[in-house]
């Protein structure tokens, strides 16, 4: 042993070897450097970035905002020429008014038909009463006519009256049937007229909605992105005009699957942001993805055939910021971060 220390070069080599071994152990987080804190630089600030597009087509007549302006919910951002949509609303309202008048006329026709039916039913009852009297008179005077106590002329008159009464009854019955059929026909039109009125009213509502949509408003408080709309530009429904980003942000960290052991909702986390000179922030785990990122890919890898190379999968973890932190208002979706989660302090399940 004493001979070893006589040669400084050997000591240097041993020290370098020990340092190299320690570096390897630290890199692989092996004993004595194994830790319950899991870190990754595959992490980014996220937010609800909403792309704003019109629901109607037309020429832009007003651009009320500029790039990156802060906005409040309901602020008018863009205006589309509404002349065509106003005319469509007037047409729809006129059609609805016409349908309403038609339905009101139906009610009047139904009332008139019901009154006509009552009238002919009364006439039928009157004709039936006249027929009954004529029949009684004919039967009563029949024996007297046979005995010669009543003249033949009187008998002929009674018979003629009976025939006339029977004819009037038949006529009244026919009138009742016609009145009932007419009323039934009017009633049958009620459903179609009511449906036509509802359809016309629905068109009015659609026209009102389209007119309202000629103004594009901010869906929430936040900050706008770059404005791509210009005065006089024709835009179709669905054309992206700008975006709005609310102030609320979070961190999505993609950990390797071997780092998830012991990680749970509620575990404390910390992260630094590259754009803010590695300024530290704190938070906690609020959600863990139900599957690896590869499972959400459109084209999934097929490992059933050919050679197989194992690739470590990554699981997304959502981290919510603790409130009232310095410089938190400077966080923007898309910023790169380095995240650390202390799994030793995760709630036990």
Average of per-residue pLDDT across 271-281: 93
Domain 54-81+214-240: assigned CATH number: 2.40.50.100
pLDDT band at 191 (very low <50, low <70, confident <90, very high): confident
Q: Is residue 147 scored above 60 in pLDDT?
A: no
Output 118 or 39, whichever has higher pLDDT.
Answer: 39
Output 19 or 156, whichever has higher pLDDT.
Answer: 19
pLDDT band at 76 (very low <50, low <70, confident <90, very high): very high
pTM of structure: 0.64
**CATH superfamily for domain 36-49+244-302+309-345:** Efflux pump adaptor protein, beta barrel domain (2.40.30.170)
What would the two tokens of residue 40 be?
């990754």
Q: Per-residue DSSP letters for 201-250?
A: HHHHHHHHHHHHTTEEE-SSSEEE------TT-EE-TT---EEEE-S-EE
The bridge status of strand 336-342 relative to strand 222-224 is unpaired
Q: Is residue 182 scored above 80 in pLDDT?
A: no
Q: Is residue 105 scored above 70 in pLDDT?
A: yes
Name the residue among 109, 97, 230 with its Cα closest to residue 179.
109
Inter-helix orientation angle 83-146/152-212, to 10°: 170
What is the rounded distance in angstroms from the CA atom of residue 90 to the CA atom of residue 221? Answer: 34
Q: Is 159 helix (H, G, I), strand (E, B) or coil?
A: helix
Give the fold, CATH level 3, of 83-193: Helix Hairpins (1.10.287)
Name the residue among 110, 90, 102 with its Cα closest to residue 196.
102
pLDDT one-digit tens code per residue, 215-263: 999 999 999 999 999 999 999 999 999 999 998 999 999 999 888 888 8
Task: List, in sequence order, every beta strand (DSSP E) within the chain.
Answer: 37-47, 50-52, 58-63, 70-71, 76-80, 215-217, 222-224, 234-235, 242-245, 249-256, 268-273, 279-288, 314-321, 336-342
Say what the pLDDT of residue 198 is. 92
What is the rounded distance in angstroms from the CA atom of residue 155 to the CA atom of residue 142? Answer: 8
Output 149 or 336, whichever has higher pLDDT.
Answer: 336
Average pLDDT, the chain: 82
Say what the pLDDT of residue 347 is. 76
Q: Is residue 267 scored above 80 in pLDDT?
A: yes
Q: Is 326 helix (H, G, I), strand (E, B) or coil?
A: coil
Domain spans in the chain, listed from the N-terminal domain onward = 1-34, 36-49+244-302+309-345, 54-81+214-240, 83-193
């Amino acid at each position: 042993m004493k001979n070893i220390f006589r040669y400084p070069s050997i000591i240097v080599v041993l020290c370098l070897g020990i340092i190299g071994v320690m570096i390897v152990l630290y890199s692989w987080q092996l004993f004595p450097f194994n830790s319950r804190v899991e870190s990754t630089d595959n992490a980014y600030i996220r937010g609800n970035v909403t792309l704003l597009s019109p629901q109607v087509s037309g020429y832009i007549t007003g651009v009320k905002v500029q790039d990156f302006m802060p906005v409040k919910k309901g602020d008018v951002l863009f205006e589309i020429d509404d002349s065509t949509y106003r005319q469509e609303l007037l047409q729809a309202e006129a059609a609805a008014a016409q349908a309403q008048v038609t339905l009101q006329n139906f009610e009047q026709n139904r009332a008139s038909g019901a009154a006509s039916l009552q009238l002919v039913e009364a006439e039928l009852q009157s004709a039936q009463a006249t027929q009954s009297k004529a029949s009684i008179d004919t039967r009563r005077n029949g024996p007297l006519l046979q005995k010669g106590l009543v003249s033949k002329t009187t008998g002929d008159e009674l018979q003629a009256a009976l025939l006339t009464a029977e004819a009037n009854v038949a006529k009244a019955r026919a009138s009742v049937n016609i009145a009932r059929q007419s009323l039934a026909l009017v009633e049958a039109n009620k459903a179609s007229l009511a449906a036509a009125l509802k359809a016309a009213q629905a068109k009015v509502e659609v026209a009102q909605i389209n007119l309202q949509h000629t103004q594009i408003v901010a869906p929430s408080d936040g900050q706008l992105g770059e404005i791509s709309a210009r005065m006089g530009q024709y835009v179709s429904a669905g054309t992206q005009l700008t975006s709005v980003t609310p102030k609320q942000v979070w961190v999505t960290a993609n950990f390797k699957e071997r780092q998830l052991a012991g990680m749970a909702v509620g575990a404390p986390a910390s992260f630094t942001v590259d754009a803010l000179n590695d300024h530290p922030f704190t938070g906690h785990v609020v959600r863990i993805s139900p599957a690896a990122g590869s499972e959400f890919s459109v084209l999934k890898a097929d490992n059933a055939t050919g050679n197989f190379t194992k690739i470590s999968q990554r699981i997304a973890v959502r981290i919510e910021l603790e409130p009232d932190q310095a410089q938190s208002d400077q966080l923007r979706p898309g910023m790169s971060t380095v995240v650390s989660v202390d799994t030793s302090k995760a709630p036990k399940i």
